[in-house]
Structure 1
Amino acid sequence: MLVTLLAAKNRWGRSFSTCGSDDRLKETFARLLRECASSRDLWAGRRIHAQIDSSGLKSDIYLANLLVQMYGKCGSLGDARRIFDAIARPNDFSFNIIITAYAQNGAIDQAETFFHRFPRLNAASWNAMVTAHAQAGNLAKAKDFFDRMPGRDIISWNALMQASGEAATIFDRMPGHNLVSWNTILSANAQDWHLESAKEIFAAMPMKNEISWTSMIQAYGQRGHSEAQNLFMIMPTWNIVACTAMITAFSQRGNLQECERIYKSMPEHDAIASNAMIAACSTSGDLDQAERIFHNMAERNTASWNAMVAAYAQNGHLEYTKRDFDTAQCRDVITWNTMIASYAIYGHMAMAKALYNTSPAWNIVSLNAMLSAFALEGLLDEAGDLFAAMRERDVVSWNALLFGYGQNGNMEDARKVFLRSPRGTPCPGTR
């Protein structure tokens, strides 16, 4: 975006305001604002905004609407609101854009405020509210707006389908389908492990795009299915998401060589692709390569640090696990859980308990890690107390306690836990 901005500035001279044609200048500003919105480049967007203010086009409603849209896309709602409030006579586009800006950033109450202020509600306004509530998981509210719409279009139906747990029912009720509709129903089946249904939908699609192909490749890859590779090889154009899905699929099958081949063939790597490659190296025990990929990453996120901490933990290098945990620039509950579990697994119970007690957040994985550690070390009183205090338990929780009692010969308590466990909870070592 910076290159585009500088090129445009060079074209018009030292300042954009020196251009003689307002129409040509306005279209240049409009194009640059759309590019900023698309790339979420707030810094460049502010620079263009400053140029607009000094160009004599500050009061142009067309550019003002694009500024509201750009700030909304970049998550700067305060700026979006200030621009909107400065518009002397907001038009339909102005209202729809500010409603969408709030909705896209999860500020649903503010979006509804403008929705009710809008003197001429149209399909775009209603769709923005349906989509906002759908994305926030407020299915009842999304359906309420959908049902009250005076007229629905395919965008309305797609928004409701994306939020609903009854995608197939809504898909069948739709008066027509577009590519988004097909991709939504495909993704819903793929994510719900309905692989055969997803395969049938994919075959029936009248047209496909990268999202369609990637959804199927991910669905097969996550299940270790060889069909993922077959689809990948005939995919018309490989994208970064599909390549990442294949790295994960080959990693699950222990094929580091294929992971490396795909990773090296990619024209660019984002954090997700590099994180997947680090995990693949970890699975194969190639920690030197995992380190190289980590240190060559242009940007690292929390998942990147987690991948390295987990890599050393899974390969038995407690010292390096702690090193990366201590130096991690960002941590989340997964980082803490991995370190706690590492201490516990290698018998450092005092350090595991100390870290657990200082953790800023716990979840069931944290509790299960400590429960398993207590059980493994034969600390059955501590294990029983922790289990009793847990507000939520899963199959790992029940099995950890069963294992602890059984491993230490306390068969009567093991029997009591087994009889109390929810139906379908497997015993340790069973599948």
Structure 2
Amino acid sequence: MELRTSTADEKNSPAFYAALLRSCARSQDLSTGRRIHRRIIATEHRQNKFLQNLAMEMYGKCGSPDEARRVFDSIPSKNVFSWNIMMAAYAHSRRIEDARDVFDRMPLKDVVSWNTILAAYAAYGQLDEAKVLFDKMPQRTVVSWNTITAALVHYGRLIEAREMFDKIVDPNAVSWNIMLVAYAQSGDFDRAEEIFAKIPDKDVASWNTMIASYADAGNIEKARKIFQTMPVRDVVSWNAMITAFSRTGHLQEAKVAFDTMPKRNLVSWNAMITAYSEAGECDRAVAMLGLMDLEGMEPNDVTIIALLTVCGSTAKVTQGRIVHSSISSKNRLVSHVVVATALINMYGNCSSMEEAWIVFAGMDERNTVTWNALISGYVHNSNTREAFMLYAIMNLEGAAPNLITFVAALDACAGNLALAQGKIIHGLAAAAGYADDVVLATALVNLYAKCGCLGRAAEIFHAMPVKSEVTWNSIIAIHASFGLGSAALRFFQMMHLQGEEPSGVTLINTLTAFSHTGLARGGAAGYLVSILIDYRGLLELDHFVCVIDILGRAGWLQEAEDLIGLMPFEPDSLCWMTLLGACKLHGDRERGTVAADNVFRLDPGNPAPYVLLSSICSSKKLGRTSNGDDHSSTPSVKEVEVLL
């Protein structure tokens, strides 16, 4: 094929300038679009109405309706296209009143004019006005019907949308798909299947909608059946199946679909990487980045963020560095604020704050989310002094804090026991409108309690109109940590009376409170057993270790040993170490020897049991043993068996 270059005449032709303006409009390249427009004005084509209309369209799509208006005003004899383009430019920038003004002043309106203003009102939620305009339309096309139907669907008015759809004389594929998507996304699969069955000529979008809908509902078998019966599949179909398999835990089948598909696009790669990321398969996810390079596929921010997220959540800093190196070596996205923030988050989660700081310091542009990521990283890694200093620097640089900033700063103050600074931040957060936020209030409870102001913490807690599980856990844990076990247990009882369901963490905190309170007080042992029976479904090995500790502290060593043998988990070294510590406390040499032997077996490199056993054997003081204790309130073996 002979290659030809553009001649000077071709480069000065209306067609050449038209192609350039359309390209700038598609890419929203306003700067280049302005230069091209200035160049056109300097030529004999400056009054070319076709180019003037395209220049208006370019400015409108680039978000500069005022520049579009200047071009519009310069056209001496405007045609209907000029009016429609100007109206669309205002609508694109959400200037609905200006768009309506243009519409009202139009000397001649065509169906496109009506559809444009109708779409503008519909897009920004002014459905009542949109319906008034729709009723006034002298002529409607299927586009008009689709526009109003889609708007009703988007804003959840499905009954009205169906009524509108049923009035369409000759619905096209778009019409059918609007209702199909509406029912599928609302979870009404009976009506979705009804619509799907009635579509006379199903296009690939209809089939893909059903696959995606079944995938979202976790119905992999129906998604698979639709996929297998499709007459024609496109890359979207394959991508939908990859997502369907991954969301339902069929990771291997997702990979088979990925390997089998005849053509992949960036969405395919992102779907597979996201599948590995959500499954915690960090190594496999990062390996996909290398395969992308081999196939010449460039990642985007979605790819990189998915990779960095799984590296952070699995604390695999080496893999995170590989991703970082990859985007740095090819200047890929590393300067993007969102990607750089994801890097900071990843390094923070991997306890590598020095590298997080290097990324932060190298950023040309930062936003509030970036500052939050670094501050939270320092708090997460118990570097609370650095976190508080960074918060102060953030304020000096004029960055606007948000709820996450205030919560992270309060956590930093709590870690530093910096009550005075915490009170200042409390005031600033309240002034910013976060006074009633449950997350902020929980951080305040934590701050005041850790700084010893338990009364103020309780006051904030009781004033909260809504309390989250984290709030309850915090107030219980704090009182338990101060040795106020009775108060912690009262908060647990209050939680139960208010109908809040505890979590495994709540039970750990409550059991810790029992450790501090002891079982000697009236009714404590029975209350402990009732809690364990009521919430047996939440119990894990950690909870049994706590109960062993409670029994051991109370001197009920026989019952603690019985529990180790009866619990539905294989005892680990911590269970036996807990019992061994109790044996040391109460001078039970025989049982301590059994516990130590089990620790030696399970954790032979641990020197602690030697020290504890030696201490028991050498102690001259005869401690109280389980055999000589008052067991009047001890939970019996039968009670222990019941809770298991």
Instruction: Give the Cα–Cα distance (whole angstroms) in 1 for the partners of residues 43 and 367 of structure 2.
Output: 46
Larger RCO (alpha carbons 8 Å, 6+ apart): 1
1:119 alignment partner, SS class: coil
2:101 is matched with 113
Q: TM-score, with normalisation over the residues of structure 1?
A: 0.73
Gaps of 5+ in 1: 1-6, 19-24
Q: TM-score, with normalisation over the residues of structure 2?
A: 0.51
What's the CA shift string for 1:72-96, capped at 9, x where partnerless? 3343434433332222211111101
The letter of the residue matching 2:162 is A
Instruction: Give the Cα–Cα distance (whole angstroms) in 1 for the partners of residues 107 and 48 of structure 2.
Output: 21
Query: What is the Cα deviation at residue 335 of structure 1?
Result: 8.4
Query: What is the Cα deviation at residue 228 of structure 1?
Result: 1.9
Q: Classify 1:126/1:212 alpha carbon distance in 2 versus 1 (closer, same or farther; 3 Å).
A: same
Q: 1:161 aligns with which of 149, 170, 177?
A: 149
1:21 is matched with none
2:498 alignment partner, SS class: helix
CA contact (8 A) 2:445 2:460 kept: no
2:180 is matched with 186
Q: 1:290 aligns with which of 279, 285, 292?
A: 285
Q: Classify 1:383/1:213 alpha carbon distance in 2 versus 1 (closer, same or farther; 3 Å).
A: farther
- Identity over the aligned pairs, expressed in percent? 32
CA contact (8 A) 2:281 2:310 kept: no
Instruction: Give the Cα–Cα distance (whole angstroms) in 1 for the partners of residues 381 and 494 of structure 2.
Output: 24
2:116 is matched with 128
Instruction: Give the Cα–Cα distance (whole angstroms) in 1 for the partners of residues 371 and 192 of structure 2.
Output: 37
CA contact (8 A) 1:318 1:342 kept: no
Structure 1 segment 27-426 matched on structure 2, within 5 A: 27=15, 29-30=17-18, 33-34=21-22, 37-38=25-26, 40=28, 49=37, 52-53=40-41, 56-164=44-152, 165-166=157-158, 167-226=161-220, 227-263=222-258, 265=261, 267-270=263-266, 273-293=268-288, 298=298, 300-301=300-301, 303-304=302-303, 306-316=305-315, 321-323=345-347, 326=356, 327=359, 360-362=401-403, 385=460, 398-401=468-471, 409=489, 410-418=491-499
Greater C-alpha radius of gyration: 2
CA contact (8 A) 2:22 2:54 kept: yes
Gaps of 5+ in 2: 321-344, 350-355, 395-399, 408-436, 478-487, 505-536, 538-644
Query: What is the Cα deviation at residue 205 of structure 1?
Result: 0.8
Query: What is the Cα deviation at residue 188 of structure 1?
Result: 0.8
CA contact (8 A) 2:24 2:33 kept: yes
Q: Classify 1:43/1:332 alpha carbon distance in 2 versus 1 (closer, same or farther; 3 Å).
A: closer
Query: What is the Cα deviation at residue 242 of structure 1?
Result: 3.7
Query: What is the Cα deviation at residue 51 of structure 1?
Result: 6.1
What's the CA shift string for 1:172-229, capped at 9, x where partnerless? 2334422221111111111111122112211211223333222222111112222223
Q: Classify 1:307/1:120 alpha carbon distance in 2 versus 1 (closer, same or farther; 3 Å).
A: same
CA contact (8 A) 1:309 1:335 kept: no
What's the CA shift string for 1:375-406, capped at 9, x where partnerless? 9999898698479557xx6xxx6444566678
CA contact (8 A) 1:282 1:314 kept: no
2:94 alignment partner, SS class: coil
What's the CA shift string for 1:332-379, capped at 9, x where partnerless? 9998999999999x795959996999894448xx97777899999998
2:131 alignment partner, SS class: helix
Instruction: Give the Cα–Cα distance (whole angstroms) in 2 for the partners of residues 368 and 175 of structure 1.
Output: 52
What's the CA shift string for 1:120-171, capped at 9, x where partnerless? 2332222212211211122233223323334433222211111112322221
What's the CA shift string for 1:36-91, capped at 9, x where partnerless? 54565657756764664465322121232233223333434344333322222111
CA contact (8 A) 1:92 1:120 kept: yes
1:174 alignment partner, SS class: coil
2:633 is matched with none
Instruction: Give the Cα–Cα distance (whole angstroms) in 2 for the partners of residues 308 and 387 of structure 1.
Output: 42
1:12 alignment partner, SS class: coil
The letter of the residue matching 2:166 is D
CA contact (8 A) 1:95 1:118 kept: yes
Alignment coverage as a number of residue pairs? 401
Query: What is the Cα deviation at residue 108 of structure 1?
Result: 1.9
Instruction: Give the Cα–Cα distance (whole angstroms) in 2 for the partners of residues 147 and 157 of structure 1.
Output: 11
